[in-house]
Structure formats: C-alpha cells, structure tokens
Amino acid sequence: MNCRPCPARPSASLGKYAKVEKEKSYDGSDVDIYRVSFEAEGECELLPGDKSRVISTHPVKNKK
C-alpha cells in the first residue's frame, strides 16, 4: 500500500462515490478526522492467485 498525504479536501480524491464529513477532534490534537461513506457498485474480474481487478465502477442509483 502506498501512503501519500491526503489532499486538503478528501472529497476531491474520493469523487462522486463518497460522502465526506469532518469530525471534531475530542483529544485536542491538530489531526483532522473524517467520516467517509461510500455508495458505489462495481464490476470485478477474478484473477489467479486469489486476486481480483476492478473493471468498472459507478454510483449507486437512489431508490425511490
């Protein structure tokens, strides 16, 4: 896993598939905490060696 600093707005990285809410820090630290929830569907391909690959993703359609 590659770790990189998060952009100033996490929603910019997560795009239209996620809802991002900034949480309060209760321990007094300067660390920003975010609650992230995803709503997406995807099509995956099963690969040898117990691996998979994402072929496509799209937002979940709202049910009325």
> pLDDT tens digits for 35-58?
888 778 889 999 999 999 989 888
pTM (two decimals): 0.41
Q: Calculate Rg over the CA atoms of the chain.
A: 16
pLDDT in tens, 9-25: 555 666 667 788 888 87
Number of domains in the chain: 1
Q: Which sign, positive or negative, has the C-alpha torsion 46, 52, 58, 62?
A: positive
Domain annotation covers residue 18? yes
Domain assignment of residue 49, yes or no: yes
- 17 token code pair: 């598939």
3 occurs within a structural domain: no
On whether residue 5 sits in a domain, the answer given is: no
Whole domain around residue 23: which residue ranges?
Answer: 10-59
Asked if residue 36 is part of any domain, the answer here is yes
